[in-house]
Amino acid sequence: MRLVRVMRYGAWAFAIVLTLVVAYLTVNYYRRDTVLPGATVVAIGGPYRLQGTNGEIITEASFPGKAKALFFGFTHCPDVCPTTLFEAGNWLKALGPDAERMQMLYITVDPERDTVEQMTAYLTAFDPRIIGLSGTREEIDPVIREFRIYARKVPLEDGDYTMDHSAAVLLFRPDGSFAGTVDYTDPPETAISKLKRLVGAQ
């Protein structure tokens, strides 16, 4: 009788300790995830399906095993886009053969004017490895939201419009996780060192 009671208490105590250990490990597992250096808590990105200037449909699953650098802009952009795309060509050259391990994508925030044909013509002025992506407004808007891009139409006095948009290049590891940004103000050495780290060359 006494032995049964001891065993019953023992079993309860064991169950309680086990529950506490599992709870502790679970909490710690998720907490540890948020303090890992370089890790990000904010989810950036999501599924997309757009038309590439290389004639293919490009999705988040395209270019398996490659890191990705995503840049959002529009072909009528007077400064940020052409500067960034020109610089991106220099980054790819600086990476040498390691540039094979990443894909740079230029996604329009102005699909009304930036048809695939317009994107293709525009990108001939830059490194041919950069692929442009376009689609319908309905396809582009969710991508802008998922990647937390700021893009706004600004009317001009002549009835035309320009786009105010985020200037950072978003970097993603081959597993799709967000690895940080190359900022518009980054000097070339900083940008190249970030990309080298991204492709595991540094």
Give the separation between CA 58 and CA 42, rounded to whole angstroms: 24
CB of 118 vs Ni ion, minimal distance in Å:
14
Cβ proximity to Ni ion, 113 vs 196, nearer residue: 113
DSSP label at residue 149: -
Cβ proximity to Ni ion, 98 vs 127, nearer residue: 127
CB of 31 vs Ni ion, minimal distance in Å:
39
Give the separation between CA 35 and CA 167, rounded to whole angstroms: 27
| x/- letters, 56..75, toward Ni ion (CB under 5 A) | -----------------x--
Give the separation between CA 167 and CA 89, rounded to whole angstroms: 16
Under the binding rule (CB under 5 A), the answer on residue 182 touching Ni ion is no
Q: Of 4-12, 13-21, 41-49, 78-86, which segment contacts Ni ion by CB under 5 A? A: 78-86
CB of 77 vs Ni ion, minimal distance in Å:
3
Strands 169-172 vs 178-182: parallel, antiparallel or unpaired: antiparallel
Q: Of 2-10, 12-20, 76-84, 85-93, which segment contacts Ni ion by CB under 5 A? A: 76-84
Number of residues that bind Ni ion (CB under 5 A): 4
Contacts of 150-156 with CB under 8 Å at 24 or more apart are 151/72, 151/109, 153/110
Among 69, 70, 81, 140, binds Ni ion (CB under 5 A): 81
Cβ proximity to Ni ion, 50 vs 151, nearer residue: 151
Give the separation between CA 102 and CA 96, rounded to whole angstroms: 11
Among 50, 80, 104, 140, binds Ni ion (CB under 5 A): 80
Give the separation between CA 178 and CA 43, rounded to whole angstroms: 8
Sign of torsion over alpha carbons 55, 56, 62, 65: negative
Question: Which residues are at the interface with Ni ion (CB under 5 A)?
Answer: 73, 77, 80-81
